[in-house]
Amino acid sequence: MRTGGGWRALPASFPPWRTVYGWFRRWIESGLFESLMRALARRQRRRCGRRPTPRLAIIDKQSVQCFGVRGPCGYDGAKKLVGRKRVALVDAEGHFLALVVVPANVLDRDTLPAVDAGKEKWPSLRLALPDGAFTAERVQES
């Protein structure tokens, strides 16, 4: 699978890769995976005995080393790596509410606009606890 020849090894009844990729792109553009993640988070919260919509969120980020083949990529001087940052908005149980990928060279305090779309999808949020690296004045306003 690592060499890319894995698709040819699949059974003949499996659709061509262009068909699979086409459907995948349509699902991404329609927001199917985001709506599935929201439904899953609501279900998991109910299973844990909580309300389905969260009121508290935690904002955190993580730098990850990667190759610049596709997607945002940059150099994080503090971590000394080339890669991306994952900015996550999670509830108190750790369920993902929103996840955004930005280049690693974006300063931590400047990654907050990335989670704005996630906050809009969860209007019940009343309080967000940022990581200590978020020192921007914008954090105090949000």
Tens digit of each residue's pLDDT (9 = 90 or more) over 31-79: 898 889 889 989 988 998 988 888 888 888 888 888 766 777 887 777 7
> Which of 7-16, 55-64, 76-85 shows the lowest per-residue confidence on average (mean pLDDT)?
7-16
pLDDT of residue 1: 46
Question: What CA–CA distance (Å, rounded) separates 139 from 132?
Answer: 11
The pair of structure tokens assigned to 62 is: 């993580």
Tens digit of each residue's pLDDT (9 = 90 or more) over 85-131: 888 888 888 888 888 888 888 887 777 777 787 778 888 888 888 87
pLDDT of residue 43: 92
Q: Kindly list the domain boundaries of the chain, sorted by start residue.
A: 5-141
Q: Distances in Å between the alpha carbon of 78 and those of 75, 104, 106, 114, 133?
A: 9, 10, 11, 20, 12
Q: Which residues of 115-135 are buried (b: 16+ CB within 10 A; e: fewer)?
A: beebbeebeebeebebbeebe
